[in-house]
Amino acid sequence: MARIGIIGSQGRMGQAIAAVLADGKHECSGGVDKGENPEALANASDALVDFSSPGALKDNLHAAIGAGIPILIGTTGLDESHSAALDNAAGAIPVLQTGNTSLGVTLLAHLVKEAAARLGTDWDIEVLEMHHRMKVDAPSGTALLLGEAAAQARGITLGENSESGRDGHTGQRAEGAIGFAALRGGTVAGDHSVIFAGEQERITLSHTAENRSIFARGAVKGASWLIGKPPRRYTMNDVLGLE
Ligand SMILES: NC(=O)C1=CN([C@@H]2O[C@H](COP(=O)(O)OP(=O)(O)OC[C@H]3O[C@@H](n4cnc5c(N)ncnc54)[C@H](OP(=O)(O)O)[C@@H]3O)[C@@H](O)[C@H]2O)C=CC1
Ligand SMILES: O=C(O)C1=N[C@H](C(=O)O)C[C@H](O)C1
């Protein structure tokens, strides 16, 4: 049985993952939280899953490299320096980073790509997300993943074409922009919609997470799949055979 170690083990996702690992087909090798060193956990594991905090990323990658095991990063709110650290780590170990480990969102990103490629730039793209009141980053990692899918299909760079946090006298929407809006409240596990707004018509592609078990199952599937793979960056498309 694959031994999976959980970074962020006492958190909402950490506990959902522990519940999946208790299915008798996997083994949980333990967990660490804030202030704890992930190295011993890495040495006792066949793979790590990290659902903690962006500030923990570099130490977690270091621990996985030291132990020579793969790591799946689900933590969101990452920036370009984190991205460079992920690329660097992927030279030594298998690394999978994604804003959403669910099958449904992974497929949704394909549908968004297809729609964005087929609809002209006169169809405005807006990404709307809603999450529970405890979420600390916005837009969500999933919203950015979906926006990136649309940007790739249109051959544009998301960073240079995104509009978010509109408030006050913002001026007109920039042509070709991909917009983001974030709602927070209650216990919502994760709702995402990508709206294609054209002349007198709209298409909305949506995903609703009914609870965190979909992310937890995807994380365990991804981490197990990474074991024994050659070092490089992987995606959920690789795990699910969707590309
Ligand atoms: N990719 C995906 O599919 C999904 C990604 N996520 C992302 O996962 C992350 C965690 O979400 P969630 O479980 O809801 O958050 P929680 O706040 O419930 O859990 C985070 C956990 O990580 C711990 N932690 C914080 N800093 C460190 C550190 N430096 N080292 C180790 N552990 C640390 C926290 O400990 P303490 O409380 O002591 O600070 C806490 O136990 C978020 O970034 C979220 O967006 C969530 C769902 C799905
Ligand atoms: O923090 C959360 O809860 C979630 N985070 C991920 C994100 O930022 O997209 C995935 C999911 O939507 C839940």
In order of their start, the domains of the chain are 3-101+212-240 (3.40.50.720), 103-208 (3.30.360.10)
Query: Does any ligand 1 atom lie closer than 6 A to the CB of residue 32?
Result: yes
Q: Which residues are 62's β-sheet partners?
A: none
Cα diameter, the chain: 59
Q: What is the pLDDT of residues 130-146, one digit of tens each?
A: 999 999 999 999 999 99
Ligand 2 pocket test, candidate residues 105, 192, 215, 217, most atoms within 8 A of CB: 215
- C-alpha of residue 200 to centroid of ligand 2, in Å: 32
Type of residue found at 157: T
| 169 assigned to active site | no
How large is the average pLDDT for residues 139-166?
97
Residue of 243, 242, 239 lying closest to 225 (CA atoms): 239
Element housing 59 (H / E): helix 57-67
Ligand 2 pocket test, candidate residues 51, 53, 76, most atoms within 8 A of CB: 76
In which residue are the tokens 């006298």 written? 169
Q: What is the pTM of this model?
A: 0.98
Query: Does any ligand 1 atom lie closer than 6 A to the CB of residue 209?
Result: no
d(CA 158, CA 134): 26
* Among 131, 192, 207, 221, the one annotated catalytic: 131
- Give pLDDT, residue 218: 98
pLDDT at 46 over 90: yes
Q: Is 101 annotated as a binding residue?
A: yes
Average predicted confidence (pLDDT) for the chain: 97
87 in helix, strand or coil? helix
* Among 135, 192, 207, 221, the one annotated catalytic: 135
Bridge pairing between strands 232-234 and 178-184: unpaired
Ligand 1 pocket test, candidate residues 6, 9, 52, 129, most atoms within 8 A of CB: 52
User: With bands split at pLDDT 50, 70 and 90, how would you rate the model's confidence at 125?
Assistant: very high
Element housing 18 (H / E): helix 12-21
ipTM value for the complex:
0.99
What spatial distance separates the first Cα and last Cα of the chain, rounded to whole Å?
Answer: 28
User: Which residues are CB-contacts of 181 (< 8 A; sequence separation ≥ 6)?
Assistant: 126, 127, 128, 129, 164, 166
Query: Does any ligand 2 atom lie closer than 6 A to the CB of residue 76?
Result: yes
Query: Does any ligand 2 atom lie closer than 6 A to the CB of residue 135?
Result: yes
Asked whether the beta carbons of 213 and 16 are under 8 A apart, the reply is yes
- Give pLDDT, residue 243: 77
- Percent of the chain at pLDDT above 90? 98
Residue of 23, 122, 6 lying closest to 71 (CA atoms): 6
| 135 assigned to active site | yes
Asked whether the beta carbons of 243 and 105 are under 8 A apart, the reply is no
